[in-house]
Amino acid sequence: MTGNAPAVRPARPFFSSGPCAKRPGWTPDALAGALLGRSHRSKPGKARLKEAIDRTKALLGIPAEYRVGIVPASDTGAMEMAMWSLLGPRTVDCFAWESFGEDWVTDTVKQLKLKDSRVFKAAYGEIPNLAEADPKHDVVFLWNGTTSGVRVPNGEWIADGREGLTICDATSAVFAMDIPWMKLDVATFSWQKVLGGEAAHGMLILSPRAVARLESHTPPWPMPKIFRMTKVGKIVEGLFEGETINTPSMLAVEDYLDALKWAEQIGGLKALIARSNANLAVLARWVKECGWADFLAKDAAIRSNTSVCLKIVDPWFLALAPEAQAEAAKKIASTLEKEGVAFDVAAYRAAPPGLRIWCGATVDHADVEALTHWLDWAWAKVKSS
């Protein structure tokens, strides 16, 4: 038997982990002032790109001596640009606990062929022992594992006096979590995550020590133009002032600026983090009571407040064969989607069967609250069928 459909529907049923929900109140009118049909190298074009960099730095509290650049190919572009440019001189310690972390292991070990790399892995829902990071080595890791809902608890495991560089894919964390910038030599993110901007470009954040590595180390492998950040052994400063390597979308730039201004208006980084935390709290309350779902990340200290991953713990479900479990979990997501109350909430294909609900700052907590009732409704429907 299934109960009646809940009375309240999420006003914005957008819970995708990327591209994420647009900011509350967004309409295409936000883009009306975009610098379209103009060169990104014109004076106003460069000014918009510089504004995006400056507002990012201010909002995130990135140290003045760090450089922030807009680069091609989204977060992946920013990460690979950094890895191809910086890795090689030192042993690399890779930490991976879900599929995006695995991608950077593949880049390090199979593509760059850095044979003496050390790889520390953990299963979905867990995190490797971060204390294994050697301060003499370069370290590659994610701040938040989008496909398992597991984040690093803090940056305390990173030595202040390290000799190696810390290279962090922080795309699902920036604007939702406190990031201790001084612990990171490279951080990357994309516009479509926590601020719900249009996807296109990556943000690359470099510490002075990362710049020193760029200027002192020449990679032994070929470097395509879109990865090149130095010219005759010197950093190309223009790249960090809005002179992009190749042509950016000024429409996407405008949308990112709109998102940044919204973030400033609601109270800046603190308010953004509070919104994500409030969304997670709604799910935490519901998980305690629902009786059929639990967090994939058991330990609350490593639980994401953006990509919240849930597993199903109901005895009937657990008694199903693995394929039937996967099918049942997918059916919950498709039932919600068909009803138009939650889009894109199926767990990532390589993750254990379950659900993934984006709780980043652009999601309203009333919508998460409304969603919890629909989760129970869809679960009852799937179980009874």
Ligand X SMILES: Cc1ncc(COP(=O)(O)O)c(C=O)c1O
Q: Which chain residues interact with ligand X by CB under 6 A?
A: 18, 74-76, 100, 142, 146, 169, 171-172, 190
Q: Shortest gap between Cβ of 76 and ligand X (angstroms)?
A: 3
Q: Shortest gap between Cβ of 169 and ligand X (angstroms)?
A: 5
Q: Shortest gap between Cβ of 385 and ligand X (angstroms)?
A: 31
Q: Shortest gap between Cβ of 3 and ligand X (angstroms)?
A: 34
Q: How far apart are CA 259 and CA 251, in angstroms?
A: 13
Query: Kind and range of the H or E element at 44?
Result: helix 43-60
Q: How far apart are CA 303 and CA 295, in angstroms?
A: 8
* CB nearer to ligand X: pick between 80 and 376: 80
Q: Shortest gap between Cβ of 17 and ligand X (angstroms)?
A: 6
* CB nearer to ligand X: pick between 172 and 362: 172
Q: Shortest gap between Cβ of 143 and ligand X (angstroms)?
A: 8
Q: Shortest gap between Cβ of 8 and ligand X (angstroms)?
A: 29
Spatial strand order in the sheet of 202-206: 67-71, 202-206, 186-190, 166-169, 138-142, 92-96, 118-121
* CB nearer to ligand X: pick between 77 and 242: 77
Phi, psi of 381 (to 5 degrees): -65, -45
Q: Shortest gap between Cβ of 199 and ligand X (angstroms)?
A: 6
* CB nearer to ligand X: pick between 305 and 325: 305
Phi, psi of 367 (to 5 degrees): -70, -35
* CB nearer to ligand X: pick between 169 and 376: 169
Q: Residue 70 to residues 73, 212, 246, 254: CA-CA distances in angstroms?
A: 10, 20, 10, 13
Helix, coil or strand: residue 221: coil
Binning the chain into helix, strand and coil, the percentages to the nearest 5 are: 40, 15, 45
Q: How far apart are CA 382 and CA 156, in angstroms?
A: 43
| Cis peptide bond prior to 322, omega within 30° of 0 | no
Phi, psi of 95 (to 5 degrees): -115, 125
Residue with tokens 């109350």: 341
List the one residue out of 328, 360, 356 whose CA is nearest residue 343.
356
Q: Shortest gap between Cβ of 70 and ligand X (angstroms)?
A: 13
* CB nearer to ligand X: pick between 96 and 235: 96
Q: How far apart are CA 156 and CA 151, in angstroms?
A: 13
* CB nearer to ligand X: pick between 73 and 313: 73
* CB nearer to ligand X: pick between 56 and 76: 76
User: Secondary structure of 96-113 in the HEC alphabet?
Assistant: ECCHHHHHHHHHHHHHCC
Cα–Cα–Cα angle for 129, 131, 136, nearest 5°?
A: 130
* CB nearer to ligand X: pick between 103 and 337: 103
